[in-house]
Amino acid sequence: MAQRIVVGNWKMNQSLEAIKKFFVEIQKLKASAKCEMWIAPQAIHVPIVKEFAFNLGLVQVGAQNCSDKESGAFTGETSPQALNDLGVSFVIIGHSERRTIFNESNTLLNAKLQTALKNGLNVIYCVGETLTEREQNKTFNVIETQLMEGLKNLPQPNDYHNIVIAYEPVWAIGTGKTATLKEVNEVHAFIRKLLKGQNLTLPILYGGSVNTKNAQELFSSNEVDGALVGGASLKGEDFVSLCQSASIFA
């Protein structure tokens, strides 16, 4: 198995001061990290995080969202072309906060995915069910729809290799309630099967209240290629601990 991928989704958090502190902590990992480290700060912080990351030589810097258009009269939007100009290597598409708060549909997310790939960005495409959907036994249906609609009609077969899937049950995000390993394995295996049906092999991350205490157990699973982490990725010492847990399974 390839090295685990540990992705920090900083959401709309982190001051400049906090970012500096984060990277002081991360220096400590330099020699020992045997995992991929990806960080998605707020878009406005990308250049400064890139600078720190460049000095360290280990961290991939990404964005949390982008427009489905390359340019034009779309006030307030971020173009994937501009992200590429800044050396951003990946973008998160389909996070549940985008789906719910900003009403982003699978159709829009598919358009974003296409434009992002066309502009040389790797994509973390997020899927996940709400608590109600899980309770109504709709988990697999929801995941299948999100996956198939989000990934359809991509221009080049090779584009698929630039996609990472993140399974994030909505009820586990920011709630402190992690899915059990059994639940994670079950959904990851289901996603893997769906992808295989399309001749695709893509890494699958788990996200939703991953922290320094539960990370090792999650990374121990062959179904889990890495983690997409919100709250526990903000402090350098926690991120270091997550990466150390991931490195055990390199």
What x/- string results for residues 79 through 108 when contact with ligand PGA is judged by CB under 6 A? ------------------------------
Closest CA to 245 of 182, 231, 221, 234: 221
- Note whether 93 and 116 are within 8 A (CB): yes
Q: How far is CA 203 from the centre of its chain?
A: 11
| Closer Cβ to ligand PGA, 80 or 231, answer by number | 231
The amino acid present at 51, given as its one-letter code, is E
Q: Is 19 in the site for ligand PGA (CB under 6 A)?
A: no
Token pair of 79 as six digits:
């173009």
Distance CA 129, CA 96 (A): 9
To ligand PGA, the closest distance from the beta carbon of 23 in angstroms equals 20
Radius of gyration of the chain (CA): 17
Pick the catalytic residue: 45, 133, 168, 188?
168
To ligand PGA, the closest distance from the beta carbon of 244 in angstroms equals 17
Which residue among 8, 41, 128, 231 contacts ligand PGA (CB under 6 A)?
231
| Closer Cβ to ligand PGA, 38 or 52, answer by number | 38
The alpha helices in 106-235, defined as continuous H runs, are 106-118, 131-135, 139-150, 181-197, 215-219
Q: Is 9 in the site for ligand PGA (CB under 6 A)?
A: yes
To ligand PGA, the closest distance from the beta carbon of 250 in angstroms equals 22
Q: Strand (E) positions, the chain?
A: 5-9, 36-40, 59-63, 90-93, 122-127, 163-167, 204-207, 226-229
Which residue among 62, 207, 226, 236 contacts ligand PGA (CB under 6 A)?
207
What contacts 179, CB < 8 A, 6 or more positions away? 169, 172, 187, 206, 208
Whether 168 is a known active-site residue: answer yes
| Closer Cβ to ligand PGA, 82 or 210, answer by number | 210
| Closer Cβ to ligand PGA, 81 or 239, answer by number | 239
Count of Cβ atoms closer than 10 Å to residue 91 Cβ: 27
The window from 130-138, 155-163, 190-198, 222-230 that contacts ligand PGA (CB under 6 A) reads 222-230
- Note whether 179 and 206 are within 8 A (CB): yes
In the complex, which residue's CB is closest to ligand PGA?
Answer: 230
Q: Is 245 in the site for ligand PGA (CB under 6 A)?
A: no
Pick the catalytic residue: 36, 45, 95, 97?
95
Whether 161 is a known active-site residue: answer no
Distance CA 68, CA 128 (A): 21
Q: Restricting to residues 143-202, name those near ligand PGA by CB under 6 A.
A: 168, 173-174
Q: Is 139 in the site for ligand PGA (CB under 6 A)?
A: no
Give the interface with ligand PGA as residue ranges (CB under 6 A): 9, 168, 173-174, 207-210, 228-232
Query: What residues are labeled active site?
Result: 95, 168
